[in-house]
């Protein structure tokens, strides 16, 4: 004969224990499932890309000479909101844009543009000193280059368009304001080829800025 406890709450304890055990089993199984998904070999690996300056042999063909070495500051560089993101942006048909979740910039795009423009100028003007924004305020620049990019991506047809306005300042006063636009053609069918075309577009942009600096230096 079973002995029934006079305490009505006693039988509930084992039930609570079994419920708790089941809850832990469910939690553990869910955690294992999530970890399994995260470690799945089917996950795509994110690739990162950097814009590159021109090579030195290419730079030699566009050397810019000035009467004396210049101290030039490059920046700040502004980019539109649609480009201000880690994903590489490409164009589809019409006005549609695509953000490549698995193909990203290795550094903020505006920093990359600033760096490459400064390096290209340094290669084109080897006797001058080029610094990137931000610089020490104690530095007395001969000229400053401000850039506002409005378009910089590869479209569905494989055309890379760079469109930007740039201003050359001397002692914080504009001495030259120009609009720049160029189209380079992608020679491959992957994101690495897109980035090469974008680097080539920046190389052309750098040549125009170097020519503007040369002209401004001659008239100062």
Domain residues of the chain, as ranges?
1-43, 47-219
Task: Give the pLDDT confidence score for residue 65 in this predicted structure.
Answer: 76
The C-alpha atoms of residue 189 and residue 88 are separated, in whole angstroms, by 15
Greatest Cα pair distance in the chain: 114
Task: Give the pLDDT confidence score for residue 75 in this predicted structure.
Answer: 96
Q: Which CATH number fits domain 47-219: 3.30.1360.70, 3.40.50.10610, 3.20.20.140, 3.30.9.10?
A: 3.40.50.10610
Provide the whole-model pTM.
Answer: 0.78
The C-alpha atoms of residue 126 and residue 129 are separated, in whole angstroms, by 8
pLDDT tens digits, 85-128: 999 999 988 889 999 999 999 999 999 999 999 999 999 999 99
Q: Quick check: 121 and 209 in contact, CB under 8 A?
A: yes
Q: Is the dihedral of CA 25, 28, 32, 38 positive or negative?
A: positive
Predicted confidence band of residue 56 (pLDDT cuts 50, 70, 90): low
């Amino acid at each position: 004969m079973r002995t029934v406890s006079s305490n009505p709450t006693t039988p509930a304890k084992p039930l609570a224990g079994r419920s708790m055990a089941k809850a832990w089993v469910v939690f553990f199984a869910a955690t294992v499932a999530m970890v399994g998904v995260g470690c799945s070999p089917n996950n795509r690996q994110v690739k990162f890309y950097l814009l590159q300056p021109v090579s030195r042999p290419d730079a030699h063909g566009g050397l810019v000479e000035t009467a004396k070495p210049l101290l030039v500051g490059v920046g700040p560089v502004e980019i539109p909101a649609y480009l201000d993101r880690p994903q590489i942006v490409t164009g589809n048909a019409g006005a549609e844009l695509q953000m490549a979740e698995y193909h990203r910039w290795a550094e903020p795009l505006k920093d990359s543009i600033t760096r490459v423009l400064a390096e290209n100028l340094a290669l084109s003007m080897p006797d001058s000193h080029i610094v990137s924004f931000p610089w020490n305020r104690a530095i007395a620049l001969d000229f400053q280059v401000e850039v506002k990019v409005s378009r910089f991506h590869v479209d569905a047809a494989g055309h890379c368009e760079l469109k930007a306005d740039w201003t050359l300042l001397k002692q914080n006063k504009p001495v030259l304001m120009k609009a720049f636009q160029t189209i380079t053609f992608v020679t491959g069918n992957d994101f690495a080829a897109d980035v090469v075309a974008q680097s080539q577009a920046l190389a052309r942009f750098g040549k125009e800025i170097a020519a503007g600096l040369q002209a401004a230096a001659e008239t100062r």
